[in-house]
Amino acid sequence: MQTLKELALLGAMQNKIELSSHELAEQLQTSQQTASRYLLELDTLEMISRELGVKKQMIQITSTGSEALENEYHSYKQIFDLTNKVVFNGKLVSGMGEGKYYTGHKGYADQFEKRLGFVAYPGTLNVQIEYIERNKIRLLRNYGGIEIEEFQAENRTFGGVICFKATINGRKGAIVLPKRSHYATILECIAPDNLRETLRMHDGDPVEIIVHLQ
């Protein structure tokens, strides 16, 4: 990725640039052999196109390479925006129907209203995220969140959860994370209304969740 960045800074996003592996090695502060290997790998991954010459080669970043750089940019932007928000992008999936029972229970509902500032619609909107985005859940847990305490009812214990105020495709809501849970790839969202109906969404539709930390 560093090699791709250096090529972009040399102008390879817009035009073909003339470059030798020796010149690239100096730019990367590495050996010529390593620089040549990086170019070969980028070529194999179809992130660059190359026209080989006697001493130099004409190199240009492809659309695949450009997309990789854009994803890298958004990752860094997410890091520096972390003091304000965390963004998840996923797709809508159907749950098992348990969310309606739990969120509608008085022990949870009263705490949601008191600590989140809205009466939660009975049920959750389930959003599947990419496996790698579980790291963001770890960041949220380290940050803290709004705690919903466990309680006793119906001769059983209902576990505590951690909430984070959020917007779900622009609508007011929150995500709910069980305190005792592994890092799943399904985020459960609650809101004052039935988001699936309000937003006219179906399974597989894209969902953007913006968690506000301040």
Q: Which of 43, 68, 93 is the last residue of a domain?
A: 68
Q: Is residue 57 part of a domain?
A: yes
Q: Which of 68, 95, 117 is the last residue of a domain?
A: 68
pLDDT of residue 132: 74
pLDDT of residue 153: 84
pLDDT of residue 110: 93
Tokens of 183: 């890092």
Tokens of 137: 């859940």
What H or E segment, with its residue span, contains residue 63?
A: helix 63-80
**Within this chain, do residues 189 and 88 fall inside the same structural domain, yes or no?**
yes
pLDDT of 104-133, one tens digit each? 788 889 999 999 999 999 889 999 998 778
**Within this chain, do residues 62 and 125 fall inside the same structural domain, yes or no?**
no
Residue range of the domain that includes 203: 81-212
**Within this chain, do residues 133 and 188 fall inside the same structural domain, yes or no?**
yes
Q: Which of 68, 101, 121 is the last residue of a domain?
A: 68
Q: Which residue has the tokens 């809101």?
A: 191
**Residue 52 and residue 188: Cα distance in Å, rounded?**
52
Q: pTM for the full model?
A: 0.60
pLDDT of residue 131: 79
pLDDT of residue 102: 80
pLDDT of residue 214: 65
**Within this chain, do residues 85 and 184 fall inside the same structural domain, yes or no?**
yes
- DSSP 8-state assignment for residue 102: H
Q: Is residue 75 part of a domain?
A: no
**Within this chain, do residues 88 and 30 fall inside the same structural domain, yes or no?**
no
**Within this chain, do residues 157 and 179 fall inside the same structural domain, yes or no?**
yes
**Within this chain, do residues 97 and 144 fall inside the same structural domain, yes or no?**
yes
**Within this chain, do residues 131 and 162 fall inside the same structural domain, yes or no?**
yes
**Within this chain, do residues 21 and 56 fall inside the same structural domain, yes or no?**
yes
- Helix orientation angle between 21-28 and 32-44, rounded to the nearest 10 degrees: 100
Tokens of 13: 């996003």
pLDDT of residue 194: 93
CB of 92 within 8 A of CB of 202? Answer: yes
pLDDT of 16-44, one tens digit each? 999 988 899 988 888 999 999 999 999 99
pLDDT of residue 134: 79
**Within this chain, do residues 86 and 175 fall inside the same structural domain, yes or no?**
yes
- Can you give the CATH number for the domain in which 49 is found? 1.10.10.10
Low-confidence residues of the chain: pLDDT under 70: 78-83, 181-183, 214
Give the pairing type, strands 161-168 and 146-148: antiparallel
- Can you give the CATH number for the domain in which 204 is found? 2.40.30.30
How many domains in the chain?
2
